Structure 1
Amino acid sequence: MALTRYNGMQDSTSTTNSFSSMLDRFFNESVNSRNFSGFTPHVDACETDKNYEIELALPGVKKEDINIDFQEGKLTITGERKLEKREDNRRYHMLETQYGSFTRSFYLPDKVNPDKISAHLDNGVLLVTVPKDEKKTMKRQINISSPEEGNKKVTEENAATAGEKGKSKKA
């Protein structure tokens, strides 16, 4: 008995399949049956008050097969998901799992602290935590001065400087 993939079109008496849905299935099959030279892991990215968090779905990938680099504001995650060949006379009739090398890059704002980036792989999910730099994200209040206040401040600074010079001459 051979396994065949059910595509919903075996029943020729069914007229409910529209041409559009047939094209959708065709293109979906074409995309899913491409060669397995690489894959793109699914990513969830979010931001909290203190961090940026990036989660990658990497089932079956070992931490030794993952590299994470951060340079010039770009976080790059590369790796490989390997197909383990078994010698038990298996003949695959269907292989939908994607294998091969992958690369995902993320541009982060300049307010991150690259020295404290951490990564954790658990149950096939890689979590990369990129902390925000507290000094760069701290809110500052800037006071606005008028031209009169600016001139008055300069005059006060000059008087204070002159007073200090007078004291230093007497000493």
Structure 2
Amino acid sequence: MFKADLPGLKKEEVKVEIEEDDRVLQISSERNFEKEEKNDTWHRVQRSSGKFTRRFRPPENTKMYEVKASMENGVLTVTVPKVEVL
């Protein structure tokens, strides 16, 4: 299981991809944030933006085709089930 804190992002803004040939799980997004404050004597605008990408190589005994992702309250949870050993 992978968990990532992504405050301020919506689930539509986060991309979870699987590269089955390389067995890589990739999480990426782009953040654009602007905050504006003003009153009678001053006006301030704060901006921040940036892209991020994180790549993980799950263990060999995982079922890459059964990966599930969910996002709740700014926390992304990616579940990668393992192959059952009998």
Counterpart residue number, 1:54 = 2
**Rounded Cα–Cα distance in structure 1 between residues aligned with 2:7 and 2:31:** 8
Give distance in 1, aligned partners of 2:80 and 2:49.
27
Match of 2:77 among 124, 127, 135: 127
Q: Which of residues 18, 25, 45 is equivalent to 1:70?
A: 18
> Match of 1:82, SS?
strand
Alignment match, 2:34: 84
Between Structure 1 and Structure 2, the one with more strand by share is: 2
What stretches of structure 1 of length at least 5 have no aligned partner?
1-52, 140-171
Taking only aligned residues, the RMSD between alpha carbons, in angstroms, comes to: 2.2
Mapped to 1, the partners of 2:57 and 2:33 lie a distance apart of: 30
SS in 2 for 1:132: coil
Paired with 2:73 and 2:6, the residues of 1 have a C-alpha distance of 9
TM-score with structure 2 setting the length: 0.78
Q: Is the 1:61–1:82 Cα contact (8 Å) retained in structure 2?
A: no
Structure 2: stretches of 5+ with no match in the other structure = none
Q: TM-score, normalised by structure 1?
A: 0.42
Give the corresponding residue for 2:61: 111
Show structure 1 runs of 4+ deviating over 2 A. none
- Structure 1 or 2: larger helix share? 1
Q: Percent identity?
A: 38
Q: How far off its partner does 1:128 sit?
A: 0.5
Q: Kindly provide the CA deviation profile for residues 9-64 of structure 1, in whole angstroms up to 9, marking residues without a partner as x.
A: xxxxxxxxxxxxxxxxxxxxxxxxxxxxxxxxxxxxxxxxxxxx110010001111
How many residue pairs get aligned? The number is: 80
| Bigger relative CO (Cα 8 Å, ≥ 6 apart) | 2
